[in-house]
Amino acid sequence: MTRSSSFDPPERLLMGPGPSNVHPRVYAALSAPVVGHLDPVFLTVMEESKDLLRTAFQTRNELTIAISGTGSSGMEACFVNSLEPGDRALVCINGVFGMRMREVASRCGATVDVVEAEWGTAIPAEAVAEALSKADYKVVAIVHAETSTGVLQPLAEISRLVHDHGALFLVDTVTSLGGVDLDVDGLAIDLCYSGTQKCLGCPPGLSPVTFSPMAMERLAARKTPVQSWYLDISLIAQYWGESRVYHHTAPISMNYALREALLLVAEEGLEARWRRHRQNQEALIRGLQALGLSLVVDAAIRLPPLTTVRIPDNVDDAAVRQTLLQRFGIEIGGGLGAFKGKAWRIGLMGATSTERNVTTLLASLEVALRMQGYAGGGAVEAAISG
């Protein structure tokens, strides 16, 4: 095998389920000089990131930090800190990431019950109410933005039911933070985790999390130690708090990048950012419909940063995605689970969510489909007509 002297990856237009493209300012932050993880300069970065994360999450929670690791580390942190062996958890499943929640909760030694809904649909509040009437639960978990289906889950009524029951409300916001309205305090979310590589427009590597005062009280009252030393929030909080007790060596450069990405969010403004994601999805949908393509998810629960599109009959899923990647340098996602081979997932997240990228994808997709013998056109004109 011949090795080159340097690594020079191709420049892709990332329009799949994540990661998304990274803003030049975030790349610049990644290249800044590394300092120590207890250096006063880095501690300033941590404090600024905490404040910026509170703005993005719309919360006043003191415990609002970035866990070292991808979004899955945030998920594990939420579960291992809130559940002890023998506890009971209710997990809502309408896609891959609800299934993953169930798996993680089970590994905590909890008894896990589920509420399930058809892929591409939302979890009905009535089904959650019925489940809550049958058992006592310590935690109820749900995905806000299901990346495998493109569903944006309504949360308000389910949150009310969970708190009336006395349970903690745990929510996956990996594909919603920074892309749609996420009001952690207004929705009374107790345990919330996300990822940096989606709508925040940062490389993968950190997981923003926020814990409510009630969640922290329950954590302090645990009878057993948190099963994961690395993800024990009571320990991590001492590093992110005033005492600065050493816990682990934080990924310095990734924290620089997150701070810069969050500054971009704050400068744009949350409402403007949500509007941009929504408007670019609307343009994408006009173009897709002009091509005769249909969408998986109903408009009322459609996730603006991620659109699922049904693959037409007699169109080769892999061939289309291969053409987009190899000929045009564009990545879109294939289907997962029940949607494997049946749907494409098109992401418009963070810096990727622009009109230019929408029209570039539509023109390229039109060519890729025509190569499959699929007739259809006028996608770009339809997209910009709105």
Q: How confident is the model at residue 331 (pLDDT cuts 50, 70, 90)?
A: very high
CATH architecture of 24-267: 3-Layer(aba) Sandwich (3.40)
Dihedral (Cα; 61, 62, 68, 74), 10-degree rounding: -30
The DSSP annotation for 23-74 comes to: -HHHHHHHTSPP--TT-HHHHHHHHHHHHHHHHHHT---SEEEEEES-HHHH
279/354 Cα distance (integer angstroms): 9
- Which of 341, 353, 340, 258 has the alpha carbon at shortest distance from 303? 353
**pLDDT of res. 276:** 98
* DSSP states of 82-151: H--TT-EEEEEESSHHHHHHHHHHHHTT-EEEEEE--TTSPPPHHHHHHHHTTS--SEEEEESEETTTTE
pLDDT tens, position by position, 125-181: 999 999 999 999 999 999 999 999 999 999 999 999 999 999 999 999 999 999 999
Closest CA to 71 of 12, 16, 18, 149: 18
Strand order across the beta sheet in which 343-347 lies: 306-310, 343-347, 333-334
β-strands 168-172, 191-193 pairing: parallel
* Residue 375 pLDDT level (bands cut at 50, 70, 90): confident
Which overall architecture, per CATH, does domain 270-384 show?
Alpha-Beta Complex (3.90)
**What's the confidence (pLDDT) of residue 219?**
97
* Closest by CA position to 207, among listed 320, 71, 28: 71
Q: What pTM was estimated for this model as a whole?
A: 0.97
Please state the domain extents for the chain: 24-267, 270-384
Per-residue pLDDT tens digits for 343-371: 999 999 999 999 999 999 999 999 999 99
Q: Is 78 left (phi over 0), alpha (psi -120 to 50) or beta?
A: alpha
Report yes or no: 148 and 337 within 8 Å, Cβ to Cβ.
Answer: yes
Binning pLDDT at 50, 70 and 90, where does residue 376 land? confident
CB 369 within 8 A of CB 363: no
